[in-house]
Chains A and B, each alone.
Chain A
Amino acid sequence: MPPKIEIDDLTKVFVKKTGSVTALQNISLTIEDGEFVCLVGPSGCGKTTLLRILAGLEKHSAGNYKINAEQSKRPLQSMVFQEKGILPWMTVQDNVAFGLAMRKAPKDLIAKQTAYYLEKTGLTQFASLYPSELSGGMKQRVSIARAFANDPEILLMDEPFAALDEQNKFILQEELLSIWSETKKTVLFITHSIDEALMLSDRILLMSAQPGQIIQEVRIDRPRPRKIEEIRKDPELAAQFVDIWQHLQKEVQKSRT
């Protein structure tokens, strides 16, 4: 089977009045089917740009990328946005059904998928509420349910838990993993939290800042679900944490000078 995502020499340059900024430089990587990959980097390193290109929201300047489809009927990708990504004028239920409704899926399929993922994310009893009545964690559950319900080839997640408090974050991470392990979707997940990356991923990609490049790759071969306590106690993971931390530190320092 070919890799799910193939990115080949991808470059993105932003041109502004004050000059041009190379947000991404010669990014090449492949992600296998069913892999959960975290992209970690300092803020402003272009990780969101990479995700937005894959999401079709931004055009790359050079290079190429490909998302290999298994079924032609499926959408290629769905994105889980940062907070505020759900539509305030739609009920929870309509938000979850949004992707399916947009591609005019049959009504019974929409109803089935929506009910299933509402149940999975514990939102069933909130189905007819509007987002303004929900907490931050609940809103992100809606966002996750919407992406999974759309049944895409790959899932793109743009720091979905960044705005949540620690406790909620752990709960949502666990829930995400449990839904993911059921569907085995390929996930590209952006975060600036090393803990989050260690908790979730099969593979961590480290990015440098301006120009954004992939500078290191770390494999995490641990069974899931992982517990934050275990991650903190495990000497090998602790070493990896320090290693990644130092890399990021270096990058941040570099971008300062």
Chain B
Amino acid sequence: MTQSGKIVQDPVRVERAEWKRQQTKARLQQLLTIVSPVFLLVLWEVLSRTGVMDIRFFPPPTAIVQTFWELLVSGAIAEHVGVSLYRIALGFLAGVIPGIIIGLMMGLFTPIRHFVSPLVMALMPIPTLALLPIIIILFGIGDLSKVITIAGSVFFPVVINTAAGVLNIDKIYLDVANNYGASKSQFFFKIALPGALPVMLEGIQMGQAIALLTIVAAEMMGATSGIGYLIWTSYKAFLLQNMFVGLIMISFFGYLFSLLLRGLQKKLLPWR
């Protein structure tokens, strides 16, 4: 006796086969994320070698890799990258640390927030790069002017996100702290800081991206070394292969910093 549409197979086996199909599908989709950049590079290589794209503006990736190798061996990359990373690190810290401190104070103390927030709001839209000429006049064309430019750009997303992080802590946690008699310092370390941390870290992540954007532009204008300088002088000498090497370095470090900050986030927010 067979009923129409009745499934006679072993249900576990059916579901296991289905599960396997899902797994394979997921793996194929993961593969896509690797395939896409490779595809782009291959396409680029083919188009520039066949002359569809002007080889003067878009040298094939293999040629760029070769130039990269030459610059690496000559020590030019180490020098420029080293200088830029040094400036980024100092500028980043010089922007993030005051950003966190002022942001926390804005979040915790209402009068400070009312006093500081119009200043932050008014100064934020001014691109630090527009101030670069005056920064160079005041601080010279050395490291200091770059550090200050980066710090100025990084400061704003961090200060705003830190203040927002504190303000967005669910009110019920403040009630819990009050009800269980938390002192001011306990409130800060057990409620305000951990509660604000997720949003604060988002701000730092943004600051990191801005730091990279800023360093290149700052080094293009008044500098004698750095990745931005490498890109700019390569432009002027029409050595576009060298310029692409500079761009790739920026892309690489941007990706690396993002990964590092994601790692830090995982470490600092195990409860997420």
A residues sitting closer than 8 Å to B (CB atoms) are 55-57, 75, 77-79, 81-82, 84-90, 98-99, 102-103, 130-132, 146, 150
Is B271 close to A, CB under 8 A? yes
A94's nearest neighbour on chain B, judged by CB, is B190
Is A98 within 8 A of B180, CB to CB? yes
Q: Write out the residue numbers on chain A whose beta carbons fall within 8 Å of the beta carbon of B190.
A: 87, 90, 98, 102
Q: Which of B170, B176, B194 has the most CB of A within 10 A?
A: B176
Indicate if the CB atoms of A57 and B178 lie closer than 8 Å.
Answer: yes
18 further A-B contacts with Cβ under 8 Å, apart from A57-B178, A90-B271, A132-B271, are A56-B178, A75-B181, A78-B179, A78-B180, A81-B176, A82-B172, A84-B170, A85-B172, A85-B175, A87-B176, A87-B190, A98-B176, A102-B181, A102-B183, A103-B180, A130-B271, A146-B180, A150-B180
Decide if the interface of chain B is mainly helix, strand, loop or mixed.
Answer: helix
Task: Judge if B235 is at the interface, Cβ distance under 8 Å.
Answer: no
Tell me whether chain A's interface is mostly helix, strand or loop, or mixed.
Answer: loop
Asked if B27 is at the interface (CB within 8 A of a chain A CB), the reply is no
For A88, the chain B residues whose CB sits under 8 A away are 271
- On whether A102 and B182 interact (CB within 8 A), knowing A89-B194, A89-B271, A130-B271, the answer reads yes
Q: Using Cβ atoms and an 8 Å threshold, which residues of chain A touch B170?
A: 84
Q: Closest A-chain residue to B271, C-beta based?
A: A130
Complex formed: what's the CA distance from A32 to B83 in Å? 74
The 9 closest A-B pairs by CB, nearest first: A130-B271, A89-B194, A99-B180, A79-B179, A89-B271, A102-B180, A102-B182, A102-B181, A55-B179
Which B180-220 residues sit within 8 Å CB-CB of chain A? Answer: 180-183, 186, 190-191, 194-195, 197
Give every chain A residue within 8 A of B175 (Cβ-Cβ).
Answer: 55, 57, 79, 81, 85
The chain A residue sitting closest to B174, CB to CB, is A57
CB closest residue in chain A, given B178: A57
Instruction: Assess whether B69 is interfacial by the CB under 8 Å rule.
Output: no
- Do A99 and B181 form a contact, CB below 8 Å, given A130-B270, A131-B271? yes
Query: Judging by beta carbons under 8 Å apart, are B183 and A89 in contact?
Result: no
**Contacts of A57 on B, CB cut-off 8 Å?**
175, 178-179
Min C-beta distance of B166 to chain A, whole Å: 14
A98 and B177 alpha carbons, distance in the complex (Å): 9
B176→A103 contact, CB < 8 A:
no
CB–CB A87/B186 < 8 A: no
A86 closest partner in B (C-beta): B176
Chain A CB within 8 A of B57 CB: no
Q: Do residues A103 and B271 form an inter-chain contact, with CB atoms below 8 A?
A: no
Residues of chain A within 8 A of B191, CB atoms compared:
87
Name the distance in Å between B179's Cβ and chain A's nearest Cβ.
Answer: 5
Closest Cβ–Cβ distance, residue B69 to chain A (whole Å): 47
Report the minimal beta-carbon distance from B194 to chain A, rounded to whole angstroms: 4
Closest B-chain residue to A77, C-beta based? B179
Interface centre among A79, A89, A130, A131, by most B CB within 10 Å?
A: A89
Give the Cβ gap from A103 to chain B, nearest Cβ, in Å: 6
Q: Does B173 contact A (CB under 8 A)?
A: yes
- Chain A neighbourhood of B173, CB < 8 A: 87
Complexed CA–CA distance, A88 and B182 (Å): 17
CB distance from B267 to the nearest CB of A (A): 13
Residues of B within 8 A of A146 (CB): 180
Residues of B within 8 A of A81 (CB): 172, 175-176
Q: How far is the CA of A16 from the CA of B130 in the complex (A)?
A: 47
Contact A132 B272 (CB under 8 A): yes
A92 to B176, CA, bound (A): 15
Identity of the chain A residue whose Cβ is nearest the Cβ of B269 in the assembled complex:
A89
Cα A48 to Cα B183 with chains together (Å):
25
Collect the chain B residues with CB atoms within 8 Å of residue A78's CB: 179-180
| B179: A residues at CB distance < 8 A | 55-57, 77-79
**Alpha-carbon distance A154/B32, docked complex (angstroms):** 60
User: What are 10 residue pairs bridging A and B, where the CB atoms are less than 8 Å apart in the complex?
Assistant: A75-B181, A77-B179, A87-B173, A89-B194, A89-B269, A90-B190, A102-B182, A102-B183, A132-B271, A132-B272
